[in-house]
Amino acid sequence: MDGNAARTWEQSHAAYRPNREAEQTSVSVQKKRWITKGEKVLYSIVGLLIIAASIYVVSFASSTDTLNRKVDSLEQTIEHQEVTNEGLLYEKKQLSRPERITRIAKENGLKIQDAQVKQASVYNSN
């Protein structure tokens, strides 16, 4: 019977009890964020700096590589020219031998009056 008495008392006093549903107010609960706005800004700046540094390093490496390739190309051209110059120098020495000059002179009907044939470079240096 005690249970019935409590129910009847609750029903009779229900009119005096304020409506809890109408009284409830919405309370906004702020969730604690894992990363704050300031940290996001700092992380963004650091990220941009890392990206900028990476781009600079890659462009510097690229320009260095291009420069090295040009230097190698020039060195190969120089070596080729040196070999060509040495070949021409040897050919010049072969063509300027006194024996050859006297032989060609005799073939063309020239008479050698002096038995000594001197090279042109000796005359030019005196």
For residue 3, pLDDT beyond 80: no
pLDDT of residue 25: 73
Ramachandran angles phi, psi of 119, nearest 5°: -75, 150
pLDDT of residue 116: 64
Helices marked H in 13-115 — which ranges? Answer: 20-23, 37-95, 98-107
Q: Please give the average per-residue pLDDT across 90-118, as a whole number.
A: 83
pLDDT tens digits, one per residue of 71-100: 999 999 999 999 999 999 999 999 988 888
pLDDT of residue 2: 63
45 versus 119: which is more confidently predicted? Answer: 45
Kindly indicate the confidence band of residue 126, based on its pLDDT and cuts at 50, 70 and 90: very low
Amino acid, res. 40: K
Residue ranges covered by each domain of the chain? 33-110
pLDDT tens digits, one per residue of 20-54: 555 667 778 777 778 889 999 999 999 999 999 99
For residue 9, pLDDT beyond 50: yes
